[in-house]
Structure 1
Amino acid sequence: MMNELFILGELMEEPQSGYYLRNALQATLGRHRKISYGVIYPLLEKLENEGFVEITNIESDRKNKKIASITEKGKERFFELMKMPVPNGAHNSDIYLIKLDIMQHLTLDEQIQLLDEFYKEQKDIVEDTQAVLKKLAEEASKDHWYASKKFGLILQQANIAIEWIERFKDELKKEW
């Protein structure tokens, strides 16, 4: 779902090459997540077979370049994916990053709803992390001290995300 959503979201802007899509996904997910062309090109082919994108061959500078464009069916799929709740799991923070990156295609109410879902996710992280920190503090040990430092970082990251969400929602309401 994650890669499909990203590709369709990028194509909502304008037609793109697989090269561009791979680099954009790499930038979104960060340098430590390796995105290969072996993921992008088969997915583009699958999306084409499902009627979500059209691939056009363009010759330029003696190279054959393939450009993907989103179809009406692909736009419907994009909105369907954007409205799906972010599943619990290892990649949910990546899915939120992708949805936040391409949410400008949603109505204001839908954007606020997405930010509210992300807010709740961050609040849950704060609550869970505070419980772990409390438990670690009950028994003083060197291991617990180090673990508490890591959980302190997680807590700060979630609190910063919460502040960011609140500011973003205020800005959205002023813009619309």
Structure 2
Amino acid sequence: MEVNMYDLLILGMLMAHDYSGYKLGHVLGEVLVPRRKLSNGVIYPLLDRLEQEGYITSAECEINGRRTKMMHITDAGRERFYALMAQPVAEDAKRADVYRFKFRGFGQIGPDEQKHILDEYCHSIQNDLDHYRHAQTKMVHEAEKYPDQQAHYQWAGNTIVLQIEMCEAQLAWANAQIAAIKAEE
């Protein structure tokens, strides 16, 4: 079963404390990649579904003189959060977001689970890095065959270098997190 990244993020946030639907929407908007927004037409149906499935409850309360609906995670929601954290991450277009959302939930899981997720992340990023390095080698050979297309191959190669450097930075970050977790044990 695929990790539902929005369920993971919402339940992870509610593991820390209760939120209003408005505040959840605001925080979710800050967590997503810039320029990718979650509208109320997305967030409230997600919250309704999570409540219908028994993962969260809501209660009306008054905050600063205003009535608002506060969301609270249930025991079933906690179990669902832990199950989502334990699921492998699919190698698809959502992979980066799912890992980022899992990392945000690290305060709610133990160091062994954290290391396991980080190890999976490193393996995934290393596969990407190997792919880009292979593509870089292939690009050099292609450029030699077609000297009249140097500008094309130069920019294609520059793009691959960017991908390689991003992968290297991600691996360095993940390895630093693993080292920090091990140092605390």
Could you list the runs of 4 or more consecutive aligned residues of structure 1 that deviate by over 4 angstroms after TM superposition?
A: none
Percent identical: 32
Residue 92 (structure 2) pairs with residue 82 (structure 1): no
Shift of 1:156: 0.3
Matched AA of 1:173: K
CA distance in 2, matches of 1:125, 1:154: 9
Aligned partner of residue 32 in structure 1, secondary structure = coil
User: What residue in structure 2 maps to residue 174 of structure 1?
Assistant: 183
Q: Which deviations, in whole Å up to 9, do the C-alpha atoms of 1:84-111 show, x marking residues without a partner?
A: 1011211110000000111221121111
CA distance in 1, matches of 2:23, 2:163: 32
Which structure 2 residue ranges, 5 or more long, are not aligned? 144-148
Question: For the aligned residues, what is the CA RMSD?
Answer: 1.2
Shift of 1:61: 4.4
Aligned residues: 176
User: What residue in structure 2 maps to residue 116 of structure 1?
Assistant: 119
User: What residue in structure 1 maps to residue 36 of structure 2?
Assistant: 33
Residue 163 (structure 2) pairs with residue 160 (structure 1): no
Which structure 1 residue ranges, 5 or more long, are not aligned? none
Shift of 1:62: 4.8
Choose from 72, 96, 107 the match for 2:110: 107
Choose from 41, 58, 61 the match for 2:61: 58
Aligned partner of residue 139 in structure 1, secondary structure = helix
Native 8 Å contact 1:115 1:165 kept in 2 = yes
Greater RCO, 1 or 2 (C-alpha within 8 Å, sep 6+): 2
